[in-house]
C-alpha cells in the first residue's frame, strides 16, 4: 500500500495497513508534517460526534488512539472536556446531550467545576464533563506516530517526496515511482497540488481558514480538561439536534454577532510544558487570504481572559486551513478518482478523533476491489539507478529481506 501525506489521517491509514500485515510506503512532500495536523489543539472530541455511525465508532476510535499513543510514546491525557454554560439555554442543551450514555458525560455544578479546573467560575451555571475525550500534543503526536512507523521493518517513509502524478497502481514522486495494489491520498486542504483529475468534485466543498494562538503557561496552573464554552455548541452536530439549540443560536447571534460571524469556537488545551493552545476562529472561503486579522486574535484573547481569569501572554500566532463540507455532518470526504485509489480528507474539527476507524473503513472497501491494472510492469527507483545501484521493482520487494514486524 502507498499512502500520500504524513498528517494524522495519512499516518492512520499507514498504521492500519501495517495492522493488516501490508507493507507500506508513505510519501510526504515536506521534511515533516506541516499542515493542519500540527496546527490544531490536539483535542479528540469524541463526545461531540453526531449520533449514528460516528458516535458508534467512538469507543473503537478511542481504543486505537490509546494503543498507538502508548506504542509511539505519545502522551494521551484522559482529563476529558469541560464545556462551560453561562446561560440557561446553554445549560439546557448540554443537559440534553449528557443524557445520552454513549457520550460518557455528566453535568457538573459550578463548585465542582472550580475543583476540576483552576478557572473563574463566577457566572458559570454548570458544565458538561465528557470523561472519555482525550488530548494529545498537536505537534508531538504526528511526529511520534511517524517515528513508530519508521521503526517498522515493513514500512518506509520518504520525506521530501512530492507526488506529481497518480495512475492505477503507481504513484510518481519525481524520480521515485512506487507500485502498490492500493493508494490512499490524504492531502488535507492541499488537494489542488495534486493532478487535477484527483481533485474532489463535490460542489459544496470549501476551505475553512482558522487563526490560533499559543499562550504562555499561567504560573502554577494545570488544566487537565480541555476547556470550551457555549459557542462550541454552534459548531458540532451533537448539540444541533437538541431541543433549544435553535433558540441558543438566535440569542448568540443577537447578543454577540461578532463572535458568531467570525466562527469563534473557543477551545483551550494545555501542552505538557504548560503553555496553552487556544483556537479558533473560522472563515469559510474558496480563496485563501495570506493575512491574519488582529481583531480575531483579540476576540479569542478576550474570551480566554474571561474563562481563565488571568491576563494571557501570546507566544505564537498562526493560521490553519482545512477543507469543509458545510452541507454534511460527516467527518470525512472520501472520493475514488480511479481504480485502487482513494482521496481521504477530514472535513470537521472532530475528524482527528475518528481518523483510525475511518482508515479501517477505507481499507475494507479498497482492498475488496480487484487489483488495479497498471501501465508499468517494472517500476524502479530512478534515484538508485542514477547512483548506479539496483532499482526497486515494486515497493513490496523492497522489504523482502526484512523480518516482518509483530502487530
Could you give phi then psi for residue 336, rounded to 5 degrees? -125, 85
- For residue 384, what pLDDT band results from cuts at 50, 70 and 90? low
Residues 238, 244, 246, 248, CA torsion sign: negative
Bond preceding residue 280 cis, omega within 30 of 0: yes
pLDDT surpasses 50 at 168: yes
Gap between the Cα atoms of 327 and 200, Å rounded: 15
The radius of gyration of the chain from alpha carbons, rounded to an integer in Å, stands at: 22
pLDDT surpasses 60 at 403: no
The pLDDT tens digits of the residues spanning 244-277 come to 999 999 999 999 999 999 999 999 999 999 999 9
pLDDT surpasses 50 at 396: no
Residue ranges of domains in the chain = 1-77+135-205+325-407, 81-131+206-323
- For residue 120, what pLDDT band results from cuts at 50, 70 and 90? confident
Domain 81-131+206-323: which CATH number of 3.40.190.10, 3.40.50.720, 1.10.287.110, 3.30.9.10 = 3.30.9.10
Q: Considering only 7-11, 192-196, 237-241, which range has the smallest mean pLDDT?
A: 192-196
The pLDDT tens digits of the residues spanning 55-67 come to 999 999 999 999 9
Alpha carbon distances (Å) from 67 to 55, 79, 113, 150, 192: 19, 17, 30, 17, 34
Gap between the Cα atoms of 356 and 360, Å rounded: 7
The predicted pLDDT at position 395 comes to 47
Tell me which residue of 178, 158, 148, 142 sits closest to 9, measured CA to CA.
142
Residues 6+ apart with CB under 8 A from 294: none
Region 363-380 average pLDDT: 74
- Secondary structure in 3-state letters for the chain: CEEECCCHHHHHHHHHHHHCCCCEEEEECCCCCCCHHHCCCCEECHHHCCCCHHHHHHHHHHHHHHHHHHHHCCCEECCCEEEEECCHHHHHHHHHHHCCHHHCEEEECHHHHHHHCCCCCCCCCEEEEECCCEEECCCHHHHHHHHHHHCCCCEEEEECCCCCEEECCEEEECCEEEECCCEEECCCCCHHHCCHHHCCCCCCCEEEEEEEEEECCCCCCCCCCEEEEHHHHHCCHHHHCCCCHHHHHHHHHHHCHHHHHCCCCCEEEECCCCCEEEECCCEEECCCCCCCCHHHHHHHHHHHHHHHCCCCCEEEEEEEEEEECCCCCCCEEEEEEECCEEEEEECCCCHHHHHHHHHHHHHHHHHCCCCCCCCCCCCCEHHHHHCCCCCCCCHHHHHCCCCCCCC
Region 96-125 average pLDDT: 95
Give the domain 1-77+135-205+325-407 fold. FAD/NAD(P)-binding domain (3.50.50)
Amino acid at each position: 500500500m502507498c499512502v500520500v501525506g504524513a498528517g494524522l489521517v495519512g499516518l492512520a491509514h499507514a498504521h492500519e495497513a501495517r495492522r493488516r500485515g501490508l507493507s507500506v510506503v508513505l510519501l510526504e512532500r515536506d521534511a515533516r508534517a506541516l499542515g493542519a495536523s500540527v496546527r490544531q489543539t490536539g483535542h479528540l472530541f469524541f463526545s461531540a460526534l453526531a449520533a449514528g455511525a460516528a458516535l458508534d465508532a467512538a469507543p473503537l476510535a478511542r481504543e486505537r488512539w490509546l494503543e498507538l499513543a502508548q506504542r509511539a510514546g505519545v502522551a494521551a491525557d484522559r482529563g476529558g472536556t469541560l464545556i462551560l454554560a453561562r446561560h440557561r439555554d446553554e445549560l439546557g442543551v448540554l443537559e440534553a446531550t449528557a443524557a445520552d450514555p454513549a457520550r460518557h458525560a455528566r453535568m457538573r455544578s459550578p463548585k465542582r467545576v472550580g475543583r476540576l479546573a483552576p478557572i473563574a467560575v463566577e457566572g458559570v451555571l454548570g458544565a458538561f464533563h465528557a470523561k472519555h475525550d482525550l488530548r494529545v500534543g498537536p505537534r508531538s503526536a504526528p511526529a511520534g506516530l511517524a517515528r513508530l512507523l519508521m521503526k517498522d521493518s515493513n514500512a518506509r517513509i520518504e520525506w521530501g517526496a512530492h507526488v506529481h502524478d497518480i495512475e492505477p497502481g503507481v504513484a510518481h514522486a519525481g524520480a521515485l515511482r512506487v507500485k502498490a495494489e492500493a493508494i490512499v491520498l490524504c492531502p488535507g486542504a492541499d488537494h489542488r497540488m495534486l493532478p487535477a483529475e484527483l481533485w474532489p468534485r463535490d460542489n459544496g466543498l470549501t476551505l475553512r481558514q482558522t487563526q490560533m494562538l499559543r499562550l504562555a503557561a499561567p504560573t502554577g496552573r494545570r488544566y487537565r480538561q480541555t476547556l470550551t464554552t457555549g459557542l462550541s455548541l454552534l459548531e458540532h452536530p451533537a448539540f444541533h439536534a437538541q431541543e433549544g439549540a435553535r433558540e441558543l443560536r438566535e440569542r448568540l447571534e443577537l447578543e454577540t454577532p461578532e463572535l458568531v460571524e467570525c466562527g469563534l469556537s473557543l477551545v483551550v488545551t494545555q501542552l505538557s510544558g504548560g503553555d496553552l493552545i487556544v483556537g479558533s476562529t473560522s472563515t469559510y472561503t474558496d480563496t485563501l487570504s495570506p493575512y491574519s486579522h488582529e481583531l480575531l486574535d483579540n476576540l479569542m484573547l478576550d474570551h480566554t481572559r474571561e474563562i481563565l481569569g488571568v491576563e494571557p501572554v501570546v507566544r505564537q500566532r498562526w493560521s490553519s486551513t482545512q477543507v469543509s463540507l458545510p452541507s454534511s455532518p460527516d467527518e470525512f470526504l472520501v472520493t475514488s478518482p480511479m481504480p485502487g485509489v482513494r482521496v481521504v480528507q477530514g472535513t470537521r474539527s472532530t475528524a482527528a478523533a475518528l481518523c483510525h476507524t475511518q482508515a479501517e473503513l477505507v481499507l475494507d472497501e479498497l482492498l475488496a476491489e480487484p487489483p488495479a491494472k497498471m501501465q508499468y510492469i517494472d517500476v524502479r527507483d530512478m534515484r538508485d539507478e542514477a547512483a548506479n545501484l539496483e532499482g526497486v521493482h515494486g515497493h513490496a520487494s523492497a522489504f523482502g529481506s526484512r523480518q516482518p514486524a509483530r502487530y
